[in-house]
Structure 1
Amino acid sequence: MRITQSMMSTSMMHNLQNNYRRMDKYQEQLMTNRQLNRPSDNPIGVADALNYRQEVSFTTQFTGNVDDAYSWMEFTDSVLTETSSIVQRLSELAVQGGTDTVPEDARENIAQEVGQLYNQLVSLGNSQFKGKYIFNGERVNEKPYPADPANTDYQLDDGEVEYQIGAGIYVPVNLIGDKVFGVSGDPNGLYAVVDSLKNALESDDTAGIQATIGQLQNSLQNITTVQAEAGGKQNRLDFTMSRLEDLQINYTDLQSKVEDTDMAKAISELKTSESIYQSSLDTIARIIRPTLLDFLK
């Protein structure tokens, strides 16, 4: 095959363009700090990058859910702690008021304090976290307890409020109020026991006062058990948060390796491509010499 000047020129210009594109590629990587600026740069790498981005997005969402769930449980724990303290105080008042030698007016004063503590227990039963009632199952927008639950019928929802903390993994964060304050109409429920203590104090009923002491101790033990259950869930959320933070770091690192530019490598490749491009220009200048027609012009 005969090699013509035109064929040589076309081939040289084609190679020169390739060398220029290679140099432009590394210049772009250095300017954007990304080695993937378009799908054609690395189709497999783009697919991996999209997958890592999705995993990072999921992990970020799960981390937010765990944080919110932990806050809910932390708030619930504080409510249970206050409830436990009140029941402990009520037990002390019951022991104090159940003594035969205590005067009637002293029992009336104790009854007034018991009434205030009863109202505070009702307030705790209607506690809200971020505008949601924590003791009414899935009916988080409905107030669970009436003003006087010991003497008013009520019905709580027993559904679970769940947070997704992983792919297909859910954790319930709410506690049903019946486990803490007792079922409506149950004489051994906390509200009913406190109301009985108040009535016994007001009627100067020593036997009735003493009967509530054991019931209050049972309620206190029950609250401790429920609080331990909540603490177990908090521990699980702690471990889950730690695992998600590790996953976030790993996926972010993998994404960076696929997408971000290796600056040292890119600078080295740019210098090499610049040298190649300059050499190409020099070579073309030497090969394409002026012809007789150029001089005749």
Structure 2
Amino acid sequence: MRITNASMVRSHLYDTQNNLTNMSKINQQISTGKVINTVSDDPHKAIKIMNINNEIKYTEKYNYNIDETVGWMNTTDGALDNVGNLLGEIKETILKVGNGTYSQNEMKSLNEDMNEKIKQLADTLNSTHGGKYLFGGSSVDDAPITVIENPDGTVKLEFSKDKNGQTIPNTDDLKADISSGINIDYNISVGEILNIKDGNGNTVNLLDEINNLSTLMNDIANGDEQTAAKAKETLLNDTKGKIDTLFDHVVNERTSLGVRVSTAEKIKELNDEDILNIQDVLSKTQDTDVVEKFIELKSAEMIYQASIQVGAKLIQPTILDYIR
């Protein structure tokens, strides 16, 4: 095979360019701290790195969901704590009614106090978190409870309705993904709080009992002797028991909520451990061994310099170099 000077020069220039490219690649790996900077560097490793980064991103998203849901549940727990305190105060007021030493004026004062507590209860059930109503089920943009103040001085609470007359609050669950294949129900609706099962499995709407409080108290404070006596008997023998039942139910809901918070926080701990492990794998796959690459860079520089020197000897002068 005939080898010409021109073919030798072309081959030399090609090899020199490869040496320069290799030196540039190693320099980039040192500068970026990454072994793989483009897919063409190593397609198999590049795909692996992309998959690892996606896994980290998804796990971080799960942790974001956990932070959001735990914040929601903690706000809900605080609201339920207020509900429990109000129910305790309502029960104290009921017990005061049973004290025969209270005068009629004092009974009127207790009636007004009861109405205020019922309004406070409504405000608490309309609590928000981040501008969203906590107890509206999936209807988070509308207050679930409406307060109606009647001309006779009684106060009534109702489930809110939309423009079509449909009840707004529902018992739908709000769910969030907190890990791969795991989601959590993080809300409690006003329906779950006020609609409970009795011993026979029948649903009892305790919102009616709360409304009865205002009616009974008004009858006791402003009604005739017979009406007041009958209202007092109902309040002490029946309604007080329903308020106790509601209080116990709120405590149970708080316990359930606490379990969910604990579960979410434990899963976040596991997610954090997963992220650390995944990042360790990513580091071993992607990070540059600076000492090793620095040695490779020096070797590549020597090879490139040697190729330059060889080229100087390879490209011989021709007669044209001597023409003046």
Q: For residues 317 and 204 of structure 2, what CA distance do their matches in structure 1 show? A: 112
CA contact (8 A) 2:173 2:186 kept: yes
Q: Which amino acid aligns with 1:230?
A: L
Q: Which residue pairs with 1:230 in the alignment?
A: 257
TM superposition shift of 1:289: 7.8
Percent identical: 22
User: Are the structure 2 counterparts of residues 29 and 153 from structure 1 closer, same or farther at C-alpha, using a change threshold of 3 Å?
Assistant: closer
**Residue 241 of structure 2 is aligned to residue 214 of structure 1:** yes
Residues 96-126 of structure 1: CA deviation (Å, up to 9, x unaligned): 2212233332222222211111100011122
Deviation at 1:233, TM superposition (A): 1.1
2:144 is matched with: 144
Kindly tell me: are residues 186 and 284 of structure 1, through their superposed partners in 2, closer, same or farther at Cα, counting changes over 3 Å?
closer
Write the mapping of 1:117-266 to structure 2, written as runs, cut at 5 A: 117-148=117-148, 151=156, 154=159, 155=167, 156-182=169-195, 186=205, 191-192=210-211, 194-195=213-214, 198-199=217-218, 201-202=220-221, 203=223, 204-205=228-229, 206-211=232-237, 212-266=239-293
Q: Which runs of 5+ in 2 are unaligned?
A: 150-154, 160-166, 197-202
- Distance in 1 separating the partners of 2:29 and 2:283: 14
Deviation at 1:262, TM superposition (A): 2.8
Partner of 1:63: 63
> More displaced, 116-125 or 147-156?
147-156
How far the C-alpha of 1:88 sits from its partner, in A, is 1.1
Compared with structure 1, are the counterparts of its residues 196 and 37 closer, same or farther at alpha carbon in structure 2 (3 Å cutoff)?
A: same
Compute the displacement of 1:37 (Å): 2.4
Cα deviation for residue 238 of structure 1 reads 0.6
The CA deviation string for residues 42-93 of structure 1, in whole angstroms up to 9 with x for no partner, is 1111111221222222222222211111111111101000000111111222
**Segment of structure 1 superposing worse, 79-88 or 33-42:** 33-42
Q: Closer, same or farther in 2 for the Cα pair 1:94/1:152, shift >3 Å?
A: closer
Query: 2:176–2:184: 8 Å Cα contact kept in structure 1?
Result: yes
The 8 Å contact of residues 194 and 206 in structure 2, kept in 1 or not, is answered as no
The higher-RCO structure (CA 8 Å, 6+ apart) is 1
Q: Is the 8 A contact 2:93 2:110 kept in 1?
A: yes
1:109-150: per-residue Cα shift (whole Å, max 9, x none)? 222211111100011122222222222222222332221497
Give yes or no for contact 2:66–2:268 (8 Å, CA) kept in 1. yes
CA contact (8 A) 1:165 1:171 kept: yes
Contact 1:30 1:263 in 2 (8 A): yes
The one-letter amino acid of 1:248's match is: I
Alignment partner, residue 199 of structure 2: none
- When residues 118 and 153 of structure 1 are mapped into structure 2, their CA distance, relative to the original with a 3 A threshold, is closer
- Does the C-alpha gap of structure 1 residues 159 and 67 become closer, same or farther in structure 2, counting only changes over 3 Å? same
Contact kept? 1:188, 1:215, Cα under 8 Å: no
Per-residue deviation, residues 177-210 of structure 1 (Å, max 9, x unmatched): 1232347983675523533553354255442342
Deviates more, 1:162-171 or 1:72-81: 162-171
For residue 18 of structure 2, what is the aligned residue in structure 1? 18
Contact kept, 8 Å, 1:190 with 1:219, in 2: the verdict is no
Change (3 A) 1:117 1:291: closer
Given the two structures, how large is their TM-score scaled by the length of structure 2? Answer: 0.79
Name the CA shift for 1:295/1:98 in 2 (closer, same or farther; >3 Å): closer
CA RMSD of aligned residues (A): 2.9
User: Are 1:29 and 1:261, in contact at CA under 8 Å, matched by a contact in 2?
Assistant: yes
Structure 1 segments unaligned to the other structure (5+ residues): none
Would the aligned equivalents of 1:163 and 1:170 in 2 still touch at CA under 8 Å? yes
Q: Deviations over 1:187-239 (max 9, x none)?
A: 67552353355335425544234223322222211110011111111111111
Instruction: Report the equivalent of 1:84.
Output: 84
Task: Name the counterpart of 1:99.
Answer: 99
AA aligned opposite 1:194: L
Q: Secondary structure in 2 aligned to 1:147? A: strand
